[in-house]
Amino acid sequence: MNSTATSPEASRPLLTLKGIEKRFSLSGDFLEQLQFKGGKLVRHQEHVHAINGVDLDIQRGEALCVVGESGCGKSTVARTVMGLITPSAGEVHYDGERIDNLSTKQLLPYRRRMQMIFQNPYASLNPRMTIQQTLEEPIRLHHPDWSNQAVKDKVSEVMTSVGISADWGPRYGHEFSGGQRQRIAIARALAVDPEFIVADEPISALDVSIQAQVLNLLMEAQQRSNLTYLFITHDLAVVEHFGTRVAVMYLGRVCEVAPTATLFSRPRHPYTQALMSAIPRLEDDRPQHIRLEGEVPTPVNLPSGCVFHGRCPHADERCRQEIPALIATDDGGQVACHAVEEGRIG
Amino acid sequence: MTTLTTRQTSRWERFRDSYLLYSFKRDLIAQVSLLVFILLVGAALLAPWLAPMNPYDLAQINILASELPPFWVDGSDPMYLMGTDAQGRDLLSTILYGLRVSLIIGFGAVAMQATLGVCFGLLAGYLGGRVDAFLMRLADIQLSFSTLMVAIIVGALFKAIFGGATFSDYAVPLLVLIIGLAEWPQYARTVRASVLAEKGKEYVDAARVMGLPSRRIMFRHILPNTLSPIFVISTVQVANAIISEAALSFLGLGMPETQPSLGSLIKSGFDYLQSGSWWITLIPGLVLVVLVLVINLLGDWLRDVLNPRLYKG
């Protein structure tokens, strides 16, 4: 963690999430919510609890990876940070300012500082726009005073920086391969010189051989312009290679945050331990997987207490009653587990 | 990485290589339809030069030459190729001028429908929520009245309030307005459906993350991707609008007899059908049928070509 910094600006986290919750209604509009129960008309609402109380700090210059299985709310966190989704509760602070309640117009200065890279490069480029138009758009929006030549120079500069030829501008997105499209999408994000990039599974739709190229491109960009990443992934190998810190999510909650090396060498949370044991290793001829019982509970009816208690081998009565909060551990991480707090497990 | 040839393609080259042109070259019905359509539109546009007479000029009309049959029937006058109507106007000239009026109303009404429908559809689909509910209920209400009913009520009211003379002066813009207002929900629903499909795609999220205002996202990003269905319903709607206008004229609420459209020509001839002057109704009727048919055939072809399930464009 960034404890060596001296000025308050540098030690302040770039992005802070405070108790973010997001519920999606399953019940449709008001009329559809009305139901007869026992002869009485009642309003019945059901929600998917995509994220329930996520607290995260992202420090300047780090690459925070968020991992977890499908449906645990990783992407919802990313979209909430970018303001694509308004949280049901909680606050998003960027560089000390609250941003989740700002209007589109008020957000504009922040848009320049934070950008996003999407999962599917086949859908993230407008099929009716040329690459040149796609890349010029953010620059013209955020620098309305720039001359045409300055905009064009900037476009060819970012195109070169992501390894695509500046001559390809007049082409359309569908003329490129997946890896090339993802480079273009990265170029679009970099075009406004952001300091913070949210990457929502940016390589999971690509071939393995291309994944490494794109990952290296992201790391080069980070070194060149001191970027901060919020990197959503479910690929633990990528995390080990890319992340400074890792946040593990389960059923809409963060169960453990730790520096990458610490997390991989000594996972504390029972879920993280199970997750780590599932990584296939070459030297494993007798794998020691931790087998979890049962299924992930539905996010519609959340379990009481710790969301993991139904599958946790160490769960006791307190776990079934009380929701664990993130507590700092001795090795620089945070973990949300009663058993770790009480010292029942290492 | 693979190297791409960096040759720039012009619009014309892209069109030349497009699937649209390819399938057009292979579809005889589409070719014939387009040819007939262009001929009809050309004839209508060039009416002042092509027509032997000006049916709007009373000095050229000879009442004594009324109800003359077309050239292949006994008793015809070689001066009047298609015969004359009850007022002694040359039928060929009147049809050419009438075709022009019908086409102007057809395209004008569709332009009006499209403008309203696209704007409302975009707003409803993109903003969602209450705006969506309000606009779509409005469309439902609008659709529960038939076009003709709305047109008859508005037309009759206008006639009653401002008198027949004023109605005649403003007949074309009024009909455009009536037919345009009555049919916008067709567009709004189609556009809304396409917008809902496009809105979930990541390029729209990317545009939002960029900070673009909603208006620009709607018109610059989403609208160009919903153009195919708009294009297809436009052809159908042009045919519909022309028929609506003809029906209204036939009921006496459309174009006045002094500047007849195809519909009012059919109507004016209808009174003489029993007395043997069939050509006054039949020939304009035939032109109307051919016009609507070729537009519909073109629309069918276009729908097949642009159907994303058959071809991804």
Tens digit of each residue's pLDDT (9 = 90 or more) over B64-119: 777 777 777 777 777 777 777 777 788 888 888 889 989 999 999 999 999 999 99
- Alpha carbon distance B167, B171 (integer Å): 5
8 A C-beta contact, residue B41 and residue B50: no
Q: How many domains does chain B have?
A: 1
Enumerate the residues of chain A whose CB falls inside 8 A of the CB of residue B202.
118-120, 123-124
- Alpha carbon distance A161, B161 (integer Å): 70
Do the Cβ atoms of A138 and B4 come within 8 Å?
no
A117-129 mean pLDDT: 89
Enumerate the residues of chain A whose CB falls inside 8 A of the CB of residue B221.
126, 129
Percent of chain B with pLDDT strictly greater than 70: 95
- Alpha carbon distance B113, B190 (integer Å): 12
Q: Is residue B155 packed enough to be buried (19+ CB in 10 Å), middle (13-18) or exposed (0-12)?
A: buried
User: Minimal CA–CA distance to B11: which of A131, A175, A170?
Assistant: A170
Q: Looking at beta carbons, which pairs linking B175-178 to residues 24 or more positions away fall under 8 Å?
A: B175/B105, B175/B109, B175/B151, B175/B245, B175/B248, B175/B254, B175/B255, B176/B104, B176/B105, B176/B108, B176/B109, B176/B112, B177/B112, B178/B150, B178/B151, B178/B154, B178/B248
Helices (runs of H) and strands (runs of E) counted in chain B: 13, 0
Q: Give the pLDDT score at A29.
A: 72
8 A C-beta contact, residue A204 and residue A233: yes
The four Cα atoms B62, B67, B73, B78 give a dihedral, to 10 degrees, of 10
Q: Give the pLDDT score at B8.
A: 55
Q: Give the pLDDT score at B195.
A: 93
B34 assigned to some structural domain: no
B189-207 mean pLDDT: 91
Give the number of other Cβ atoms within 10 Å of residue A56's Cβ: 23
Name residue, tokens 């992340």.
A243
Whether residue A294 is predicted with pLDDT greater than 90 in this model: the reply is: no
User: Minimal CA–CA distance to B190: which of B19, B306, B313, B310?
Assistant: B306
- Alpha carbon distance A71, A205 (integer Å): 17
Whether residue A346 is predicted with pLDDT greater than 80 in this model: the reply is: no
- Alpha carbon distance B205, B210 (integer Å): 8
Compare B57 and A171 and report the one with higher pLDDT: A171
Label residue B1 by pLDDT band (50, 70, 90).
Answer: very low
Per this entry, what is the length of chain B?
313
Estimate the crossing angle of helix B227-250 against helix B91-127, to 10 degrees.
Answer: 130
Whether residue B237 is predicted with pLDDT greater than 60 in this model: the reply is: yes
Enter the pTM of the model: 0.81
Q: Give the pLDDT score at B205.
A: 92
A62-73 mean pLDDT: 90
Q: Is residue A244 packed enough to be buried (19+ CB in 10 Å), middle (13-18) or exposed (0-12)?
A: buried
Q: From start to end of B194-310, where are the E strands?
A: none
CA atoms within 13 A on the CB side of B126: 22
Q: Which of A189-203, B123-137, B255-269 has the lowest mean pLDDT?
A: B255-269
B127: amino acid identity, one letter: L
Pick the most confident of A5-9, B19-23, B224-228: B224-228
B288-298 mean pLDDT: 91
8 A C-beta contact, residue B141 and residue B184: no
Whether residue A203 is predicted with pLDDT greater than 80 in this model: the reply is: yes
Which residue of A lies nearest to B199 if distances are taken between CA atoms?
A: A123
Enumerate the residues of chain B whose CB falls inside 8 A of the CB of residue A175.
4
pLDDT tens track for B19-39: 788 888 888 889 999 999 999
Answer positive or negative: Cα dihedral of B71, B74, B78, B80: negative
ipTM for this model: 0.86
Q: Give the pLDDT score at B48.
A: 84
Q: Is residue A47 packed enough to be buried (19+ CB in 10 Å), middle (13-18) or exposed (0-12)?
A: middle
Name residue, tokens 């070719």.
B31
Whether residue A227 is predicted with pLDDT greater than 80 in this model: the reply is: yes
The mean pLDDT value of chain A amounts to 87
A64-70 mean pLDDT: 90
Do the Cβ atoms of B4 and A171 come within 8 Å?
yes
Do the Cβ atoms of A84 and B209 come within 8 Å?
yes
Whether residue A286 is predicted with pLDDT greater than 70 in this model: the reply is: no
CATH number at residue B277: 1.10.3720.10
Q: Give the pLDDT score at A3.
A: 44
Compare B308 and B140 and report the one with higher pLDDT: B140
Q: Give the pLDDT score at A185.
A: 93
Q: Give the pLDDT score at B2.
A: 44
B192-203 mean pLDDT: 91
Q: What is the DSSP letter of A325?
A: P
Within an 8 Å CB–CB cutoff, is residue A21 touching chain B?
A: no
Do the Cβ atoms of B202 and A123 come within 8 Å?
yes
Do the Cβ atoms of A175 and B211 come within 8 Å?
no
Whether residue A285 is predicted with pLDDT greater than 90 in this model: the reply is: no
Label residue B307 by pLDDT band (50, 70, 90).
Answer: low
8 A C-beta contact, residue A215 and residue A241: yes
Enumerate the residues of chain B whose CB falls inside 8 A of the CB of residue A179.
1
A259-274 mean pLDDT: 90
Whether residue A18 is predicted with pLDDT greater than 60 in this model: the reply is: yes
Q: What is the bridge-based pairing of β-strands A228-232 and A63-67?
A: parallel
Alpha carbon A19 to its chain centroid, in Å, reads 15
Whole-number Cα distances in Å, A341 to A309, A318, A346, B174: 15, 12, 9, 79
Closest CA–CA distance from residue B215 to any residue of chain A (Å): 12
Residue span of the structural domain in which B162 resides: 42-306
Enumerate the residues of chain A whose CB falls inside 8 A of the CB of residue B131.
none
The mean pLDDT value of chain B amounts to 83
- Alpha carbon distance B175, B153 (integer Å): 12
DSSP state string for B22-34: HHHHT-HHHHHHH
Q: What is the bridge-based pairing of β-strands A327-328 and A334-335?
A: antiparallel
Label residue B313 by pLDDT band (50, 70, 90).
Answer: very low
Q: Is residue B96 packed enough to be buried (19+ CB in 10 Å), middle (13-18) or exposed (0-12)?
A: buried
List alpha helices for chain A, DSSP H.
8-11, 30-33, 74-81, 104-113, 131-142, 148-161, 178-190, 208-225, 236-242, 260-265, 270-277, 317-321, 338-342
B203 assigned to some structural domain: yes
Q: Domain residues of chain A, as ranges?
A: 103-227
Superfamily of domain A103-227: P-loop containing nucleotide triphosphate hydrolases (3.40.50.300)
Q: Give the pLDDT score at B312.
A: 41
Compare B25 and A182 and report the one with higher pLDDT: A182
- Alpha carbon distance A151, A134 (integer Å): 12
A116, A171, A179: residue with CB nearest B209: A116
Whole-number Cα distances in Å, B193 to A25, A26, B123: 21, 21, 12
Do the Cβ atoms of B211 and A123 come within 8 Å?
no
Q: Give the pLDDT score at A1.
A: 42
Whole-number Cα distances in Å, B84 to A55, A62, B288: 86, 87, 18
Label residue B4 by pLDDT band (50, 70, 90).
Answer: very low
Enumerate the residues of chain A whose CB falls inside 8 A of the CB of residue B209.
82-84, 111, 115-116
Question: Which residues, 6 or more positions from A30, have their beta carbon under 8 angstroms from its beta carbon?
Answer: A43
B158 assigned to some structural domain: yes
Whether residue A312 is predicted with pLDDT greater than 70 in this model: the reply is: yes
Whether residue B7 is predicted with pLDDT greater than 60 in this model: the reply is: no
Q: Give the pLDDT score at A4.
A: 45
Per the DSSP assignment, residues forming a β-bridge with A328 are A334
Question: Which residues, 6 or more positions from A106, have their beta carbon under 8 angstroms from its beta carbon?
Answer: none
Q: Give the pLDDT score at B3.
A: 45
- Alpha carbon distance A55, A70 (integer Å): 20
Percent of chain B with pLDDT strictly greater than 90: 25
Q: Give the pLDDT score at A138.
A: 93
Within an 8 Å CB–CB cutoff, is residue A273 touching chain B?
A: no
